[in-house]
Structure 1
Amino acid sequence: MVSMRFEGLDPTKPFVDATPMTRAPRISDLPALAAVARETYGIHNPRYVRLWSADPTIEGTQPDRRFFAAPISQLQPHDVPPELTLVPASSVDHYDDAQRAYDAVVAAHPHHTEEASLQDRDDLAESADEGFLFDIVVDGDWAGYAAGVHKPEDALGLPAYVVREMILAPKYRGRGYGRHLSALLAQALPDHTRILIGTIHSANQGARTAALTAGRHDIGGWLQLPLPQA
């Protein structure tokens, strides 16, 4: 089944979603998938077909987002620096600081805009209201946000909390804090019988390494099959 989608509801970024499929896509399937997408939705000039695959790469496709997950019971913090803590946040008072943190990353790595962006203020406020937003604190100073959300539609049908946000301010990057954040967030959430799951772009090597080091696993994700542009 194929359907028309738009990245972030942006009409200038159309793509075709190919799902569900009865089996994993193969290289031999790609020409037929591209032909169906062009025939069905060519009027929108979609940029690519998005495919789900357990494999991180298929020849002829480009990387997209991957799902990283683990049971919260297995995400136990180890060797956390004593100055690093998570503190429940009752508001989004540091939202502008978080936006500046993202802007600093984009200034240094312009491609980052395609890999991640700061969650909407209202979304983080919702997490705060539910008790799922946390200030990352280093030596008593605000250093970033970590947030979860109970959003079944983004959890692949699993009993899971979804990682909604994880951002460190520039001055706290490069200190090895990132690898501890998944476990700290997991243990701060109320129901430890659940799974912690979230998406990370394949090109975001730092975030992928931090998630894997924390004990989360790549359980599958999307690939992009480029389509010729009119």
Structure 2
Amino acid sequence: MLSIRFEGGNPDKPFVDVSATSRPVLPADLPVLSASAQQTYGVFNPQRLRFWSSAEAGAFVGTQPDMRVLAAPVRDLQPRPTPPELSLRPTLDTSQLAAAREAYADVDRLHPAHPGQARIFSEEDLQETVDAGTMFDVLRNGEWVGYVGVLPKPKHGLNAYSLQELILASACRGRGYGAALTTLLAQALPQGDRVLLGTIHADNRGARQAALQAGRVDIGGWSWLPLLHALA
């Protein structure tokens, strides 16, 4: 099943989404999907088609990998050592949101592709996670240095904790703390039978490596297929 979508809700960025399939997408399917997308939604002049696959990133020639889903049972992520200077405490309000936004801005300045890969959530989303009791301040030696939090909700057919945010202040990056945050988060969550699940852009190698080191597994992701014959 195909549907027309708009990136970020922007009407100037239409794309065709492979919303549902009866079997996994194979490389041989791409020409047919491309033709169907342009025939059905050509009036929108979509430039790309997005599809999901459990194949590794880059497995489809001529496509561009997008977000990957990395997941693992919470209980499997808990028994790992963490740096003694790091700890978590429940987030009580949104008072550190400005600092978190500055941390994102620092990453954006250092990595020009980052704004297209990840954005900090809104104040409303932060408050929702705080209200759920699953948002945490990251502390280093007792001082705030970041956020990590999830929402308990089904996703991709799994009984999941969906990762909402994981951000560290710039002074704490490059110290190997990323994997430790996943461990600390897993240890703080009350339901070990859930799956901790989050998306990371395929090109965000640092974040992906930290997730893999923490024990999460890449279970698949989306890819973009350019629609070379999109209407002018």
Common fold: TM-score over 0.5: yes
Structure 2 equivalent of residue 62 of structure 1 = 64
Give the structure-2-normalised TM-score: 0.95
Structure 2 equivalent of residue 122 of structure 1 = 124
Number of aligned residue pairs: give it. 228
Query: Which residues of 2 match residues 68-217 of structure 1 at below 5 A?
Result: 68-152=70-154, 155-217=155-217
Give the structure-1-normalised TM-score: 0.95
* Same amino acid, percent of matched pairs: 50
CA RMSD, 1 decimal:
1.2
Secondary structure at 1:123 match in 2? helix
State the AA in 2 paired with 1:91. D
State whether residues 77 and 184 of structure 1, in contact with CA within 8 Å, keep that contact through their aligned partners in structure 2: no
CA distance in 1, matches of 2:94, 2:146: 11
Secondary structure at 2:113 match in 1? helix
CA distance in 2, matches of 1:119, 1:12: 23
CA distance in 2, matches of 1:24, 1:159: 22
State the AA in 1 paired with 2:24. A
For residues 73-103 of structure 1, the C-alpha deviation after alignment (integer angstroms, 9 at most, x for no partner) is 1002523111001111111110000000001
Structure 1 unmatched runs, 5+: none
CA distance in 1, matches of 2:79, 2:109: 32
State the AA in 2 paired with 1:122. E
Structure 2 unmatched runs, 5+: none
